[in-house]
């Protein structure tokens, strides 16, 4: 107590607290160090094992006695004893027989084979990304027994499983991918950084494909943090990680963040005029530029995308370019030219796709803006008849019906039903779908309506709601800041 009293007397509370906390800090650092050293140790142990030690591990794992293995590979018991004591080594002929006996033909056992196998796994991943599923599934069969080498190559086993999950996701088998990603936390904690990265990446990509963008972004951001710490083995993944992060930010209507990651995705991928990846990354930035009022940048990128799309003669890519031309003209209030572009897009985009319905929606919206209400009504009826199979687009076109009614009778006091629908059903739905800019459009309609009927208080409420959405999207109240 005298020592602590002296510290207080000397007005050194900070020193006192530091001395008390120091053992705790040291303990926490020690724990983290032990975990890191443990992971490193496991990795080094796997790399430093001799072939003989690996065979012993797999033999014991399968509960095979020495004499049984000796008989299987046609050598004497004394000789296998000498080999396992390190006095002799297995020959290539012995290893071939050992692989056949333990059913690991095609799987690695020597250090050189492990290095080549890792590269083959990444080649497998490249086939998956190129959508060459027939070739990818051939490799899947070749590695079907991968669990058998877990005793001496656990990290390779995990890497193989992670890439197989990517195949499930790419083929749209989300149920299998979800099941394979249900990994005990203890196993996740014991993974090396490479496999932890792949696990987080797979979880994030699966969520994005299932439209769980916010949850997906959480996983992708964690993978991004790992990548920033160590890019040595992840450089081949950068472009795709950035791509899915950009998609998530785009969906969550955070345009500035989306722009950053669309650009990162584009820069991380090799330049190739026929590359669908680079074309999609370039095109992904266009709506973000438009939302942030970077019109010249959007036009420049659109022209570039059109040249690429026409060079590969892909109608769907060309149709998407027309769609974004329409979107650009719509947002700069060039209604007539926007309508023309949306019609061109609809001629090329597959009927029943989201972009097809979206083209139809924006086309009708632009027609309403030209005050051609009869034509808008006709086009809207046609759109509704086409989208019966899509609950999402039925909701959008139903909201547009009320938009049309209010626009047609802007100064009427008899729009209460449509106003109530927009405020209580349409706008909450758009916000739930993270379609904040469509919500702004509907708030702006009501703002104008209330100005026309001189209801200043209600108009002010609409202005406040619009400001709140812009604040969320542009001034740092959104995710990812």
The domains of the chain are located at 1-41, 49-102
| Whether pLDDT at 8 is above 50 | no
Q: How confident is the model at residue 16 (pLDDT cuts 50, 70, 90)?
A: very low
| Contact (CB, 8 A) for 278 and 272 | yes
The average pLDDT across 171-190 equals 93
Q: How confident is the model at residue 309 (pLDDT cuts 50, 70, 90)?
A: confident
The average pLDDT across 120-139 equals 93
CA proximity to 102, closest of 116, 90, 86, 87: 90
Q: Taking the model in full, what pTM does it have?
A: 0.78
pLDDT tens per residue across span 423-465: 999 999 999 988 999 999 999 999 999 999 989 999 999 999 9
Average pLDDT taken over every residue of the chain: 85
pLDDT score at 5:
38
CA proximity to 222, closest of 250, 246, 247, 202: 202
Which of 12-26, 218-232, 455-469 has maximum average pLDDT? 455-469
* Higher per-residue pLDDT: 30 or 357: 357
Q: How confident is the model at residue 351 (pLDDT cuts 50, 70, 90)?
A: confident
H helix or E strand, kind and range, residue 17: helix 13-48
Measured CA to CA, the distance from residue 438 to residue 469 in angstroms comes to 11
CATH fit for domain 49-102, picks 1.10.260.30, 1.10.260.40, 3.40.50.720, 3.40.630.10: 1.10.260.40
């Amino acid at each position: 107590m005298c020592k602590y009293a002296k510290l207080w007397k000397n007005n050194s509370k900070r020193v006192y607290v530091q001395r008390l906390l120091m053992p705790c800090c040291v303990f926490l650092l020690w724990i983290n160090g032990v975990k890191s050293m443990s992971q490193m140790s496991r990795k080094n142990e796997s790399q430093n094992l001799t072939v003989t030690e690996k065979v012993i591990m797999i033999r014991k794992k399968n509960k095979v006695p020495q004499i049984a293995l000796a008989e299987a590979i046609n050598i004497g018991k004394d000789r296998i004893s000498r080999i396992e004591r390190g006095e002799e080594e297995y020959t290539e002929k012995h290893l071939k027989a050992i692989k056949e006996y333990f059913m690991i033909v095609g799987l690695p056992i020597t250090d050189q084979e492990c290095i080549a196998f890792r590269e083959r796994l990444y080649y497998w991943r490249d086939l998956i990304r190129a959508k060459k599923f027939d070739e990818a599934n051939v490799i899947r069969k070749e590695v079907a027994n991968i669990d058998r080498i877990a005793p001496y190559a656990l990290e390779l086993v995990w890497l193989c499983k992670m890439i197989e999950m990517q195949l499930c996701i790419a083929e749209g088998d989300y149920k299998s991918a979800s099941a394979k990603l249900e990994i005990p936390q203890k196993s996740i904690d014991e993974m090396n950084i490479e496999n932890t990265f792949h696990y987080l990446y797979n979880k994030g990509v699966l969520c994005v494909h299932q439209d769980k963008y916010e949850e997906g972004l959480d996983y992708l951001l964690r993978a991004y943090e790992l990548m920033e710490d160590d890019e040595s083995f992840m450089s081949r993944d950068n472009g795709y990680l950035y791509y899915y992060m950009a998609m998530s930010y785009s969906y969550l209507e955070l345009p500035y963040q989306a722009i950053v990651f669309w650009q990162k995705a584009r820069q991380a991928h090799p330049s190739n005029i026929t590359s669908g990846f680079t074309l999609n990354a370039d095109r992904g930035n266009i709506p973000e530029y438009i939302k942030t009022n970077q019109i010249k940048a959007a036009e420049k990128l659109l022209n570039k995308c059109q040249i690429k799309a026409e060079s590969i003669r892909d109608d769907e890519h060309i149709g998407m370019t027309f769609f974004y031309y329409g979107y650009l003209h719509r947002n700069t209030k060039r209604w007539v030219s926007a309508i023309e572009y949306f019609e061109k897009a609809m001629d090329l985009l597959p009927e029943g796709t989201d972009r097809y319905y979206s083209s139809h929606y924006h086309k009708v919206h632009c027609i309403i803006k030209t005050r051609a209400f009869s034509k808008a009504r006709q086009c809207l009826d046609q759109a509704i008849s086409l989208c019966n199979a899509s609950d999402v687009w039925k909701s959008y076109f139903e909201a547009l019906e009320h938009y049309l009614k209010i626009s047609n009778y802007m100064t009427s006091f008899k729009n209460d039903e449509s106003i109530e629908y927009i405020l209580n059903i349409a706008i909450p739905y758009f916000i739930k779908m993270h379609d904040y800019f469509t919500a702004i459009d509907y708030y702006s309609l009501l703002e104008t309506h209330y100005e026309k009927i001189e209801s200043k208080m209600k108009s002010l409420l609409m202005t406040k709601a619009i400001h709140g959405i812009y604040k969320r999207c542009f001034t740092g109240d959104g995710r990812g800041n």
